[in-house]
A and B are shown apart, each in its own frame.
Chain A
Amino acid sequence: MVEYNSVSRKLFIFVNYTALAVLALLCLLPIINVLAVSFSDSYYVSANLVKLWPKGFTLKSYHFVAETPEFLRSVWVALERLVLGSVVNMLLTIIVAYPLSKESSQFRFRTGYVWIFVFTILFSGGLVPTYIIVKDMHLLDSIWSLVLPGAVPVFNLILLLNFFRSLPKEMTEAAHIDGATHWQVLWSIVVPLSKPALATIGLFTMVGHWNEWFNGLIYMNRPEHYPLASYLQTVIVQRDIALTTDPIMLQQLAGLNNRSVKAAQIFLGSLPIFLVYPFLQRFFMSGIVLGSVKE
């Protein structure tokens, strides 16, 4: 055991801690930088004096963003989408995963059905035909265009059906002998036993809906129907779009730095993620391993 106290070992441990600390900082510094900019006075921001700590602390950018009607409206649309989308996704994932988790001997068409779902991961109609379908269904400009096309998340479906299959069969069989229907078995036995898997999928689904921006951009003709992520895409990323045309707001904006306003929007846009992240953390280890490392 000499090795453990050797000089080279100690050196390695030191280098290792340093390297990992640097990696962690690399992930954190850009976020801290943007936060600092969002809380800083426009004078210091313009002079490029703000690095990792706010200078001339102020909430002006946040006041400005909070008073932008477009921003507030898009938050509302995003919440609407989050609730509707997550409920639809979770219900359909559970209801479809249950029959597909049966053995082929119990449900003959299982494999065929699974392939119909899996094929949609392998091959797709692509952007333009999908857009045309959504248009023909008269979903453009409606919140349902953000919910229905992705109503059945196939990756989650496979994850959940694999989880259902790992549950002990004896419990469901006993329930069937006692006269329970499939519907009863699903909701009173299978679902309660699957809480960890459902929590993982649920959190991923919600994060997905909060972050998704592209559908909102192409299916909504009117910017007032954009969910937050799409709205942020237009104001943060599409560089030459004016933040507002309202004269009073323009006047206010004159005393602000564009960078600070964008930074505030970035922070507000990711705030829910930062808030659920600690909970996410607890679940996702098991969730990801569930989905990625399988025999």
Chain B
Amino acid sequence: MLRRWWANDLPLHIMVWVGLVFVLIFAYGPMVGLVIAFQKFVPTKGLFGSDWVGLDNFHYILSLPDTRQVIYNTVFISIMKLAAGLVAPLLTALLLNEIRLKAFKRTVQTIVYLPHFLSWVILSGILLDVLSPNFGLLNDFIAWLGFDRVFFLGNDHWFPFVLVGTDVWKEFGFGTIVYLAALTGINPALYEAAVIDGAGRWKQTINVTLPGIVPIVVLLMTLSLGNILNAGFDQVFNLYSPSVYSSGDILDTYVYRLGLVNFDFGVATAVGLFKSAVSLVLISGSYMMAYRFANYRIF
């Protein structure tokens, strides 16, 4: 028995611990640091030297008029992204699935995946140029059509929709892969049977293709529900400006400005804790639902 432990279990434990050390320090360490949310944190006094203030930071947040707006923005933006992010790749996959010309199919796929691999810094640089009211390509086109130029990134009415649009633009090609994979998994016998029953391509799509990918759609939707408080820090941070804070500020950018710009550590951590706690509930809930209804397991 001891021999088995020595030769089998111990090496395995050691291997796990090689990585576990980093996770304990850099992921679990900060969880201990969450106590700052209940303190009037002063960096020089340290984590356990600062004064405890109970729930004061949370009361303070709730008294700020910005907070409610920020929560609303976060949920609004991510729900729109969630819906658009499900529909756009699904439609693209359905259209691509009808293409018989291999070279065309592959070219389109290659091009639409590309933006996914570029960071929001690079894409923001591109979008700042393309969406510019003065010289941007899109506005030139809008003007050519005879409409007024729109200051997409500086107009707080347009900004959330710009976020959704550009997010779809970046990610729809990538999402298409998953649906295409699901489409190839549909049993060809079902199509043959439909053809014998006299179904045309349209009827086949409605009665065979769509029901065939409903499970994966439901699964992806369920899993993305857990991310409803993640409206996309990288994107918003690189595209927004003070003139669109009212409609574009999300929890993550809010925490950044409170914490690292205003040095309001306690309050920033309290907002972060709130977000993490709600996310934990949502993500666990969505994984449980995915497990129960789609038999999906993470590991």
Chain A residues packing against B (C-beta within 8 Å):
1, 3-4, 6, 9, 12-13, 16-17, 19-21, 23-24, 26-31, 33-34, 37, 48, 51, 92-93, 95-96, 98-100, 102, 106-109, 113-114, 116-118, 120-134, 137, 148-152, 154, 157-158, 161-162, 181-183, 207, 210-214, 218, 229, 232-233, 236-237, 239, 259, 262-263, 265-266, 269-270, 273, 277, 280-281, 284-285, 288-289, 292-295
Tell me if B164 counts as interface (CB < 8 A to partner A). no
Binding site for A on B (CB under 8 A): 7-9, 11-13, 15-16, 18-20, 22-23, 25-34, 36, 43, 47, 92, 95-96, 98-99, 104, 107-108, 110-115, 117-119, 121-122, 124-130, 134-135, 137, 140, 169, 173-174, 177-178, 181-182, 185, 195, 200-201, 216, 233-234, 237-238, 241, 252, 255-256, 259-260, 265, 268-269, 272-273, 275-277, 279-280, 283-284, 295-299
* B255–A126 CB distance below 8 A: yes
Tell me, in angstroms, the Cα distance from A211 to B120 when the chains sit together.
8
Smallest CB–CB gap between A206 and chain B, Å?
11
Cross-chain contact B18 with A95 (CB below 8 angstroms): yes
User: Is there an interface contact between A117 and B26, defined as CB atoms closer than 8 Å?
Assistant: no
Question: Closest CB of chain B to A266's CB: distance in Å?
Answer: 4
Q: Interface residues of B: mostly helix, strand, loop or mixed?
A: helix
A-B residue pairs in contact (CB < 8 Å), sample of 29: A4-B201, A9-B201, A16-B95, A20-B92, A20-B96, A24-B112, A27-B115, A27-B169, A51-B137, A95-B19, A96-B15, A106-B8, A113-B20, A114-B299, A123-B279, A125-B27, A125-B29, A125-B33, A126-B255, A127-B256, A128-B255, A129-B32, A132-B36, A152-B19, A212-B119, A237-B124, A265-B125, A266-B125, A284-B177
**Closest residue of B by beta carbon distance from A13:** B98
In the complex, which of the residues B19, B115, B118, B177 contacts A285, with contact meaning CB atoms closer than 8 Å?
B177
State whether A17 touches B119 (Cβ < 8 A): no
A-B complex: 3 closest residue pairs judged by Cβ atoms: A125-B30, A129-B33, A126-B272
Cβ contact within 8 Å between B20 and A116: yes
For B174, the chain A residues whose CB sits under 8 A away are: 288
- With A30-B127, A51-B137 as contacts: A129 and B15 at CB distance below 8 Å: no
**8 Å CB contact of B92 from A23, A93, A239, A273:** A23
- Select A128's contact among B20, B111, B265, B280, beta carbons within 8 Å: B265
Contact of B276 among A27, A126, A213 (CB under 8 A): A126
Q: Using Cβ atoms and an 8 Å threshold, which residues of chain A touch B13? A: 99, 109
Are B15 and A99 in contact, CB atoms less than 8 angstroms apart? yes
Number of A-B contacts (CB under 8 A): 272
Cα A28 to Cα B185 in complex, Å, equals 30
| Among B115, B256, B295, contact of A295 (Cβ-Cβ < 8 Å) | B295
CB pair A183 B299 closer than 8 Å: no
From known contacts A126-B273, A289-B181, infer whether A233 and B298 are also in contact, taking CB-CB under 8 Å.
Answer: no
A108, B16: Cα distance in complex, Å: 13
Q: What are the residues of chain A within 8 A of B277 when measuring CB–CB? A: 123
Instruction: Please determine whether A21 and B108 come into contact, CB atoms closer than 8 angstroms.
Output: yes
Give chain A residues whose Cβ lies under 8 Å from the Cβ of B125: 34, 232, 236-237, 262-263, 265-266
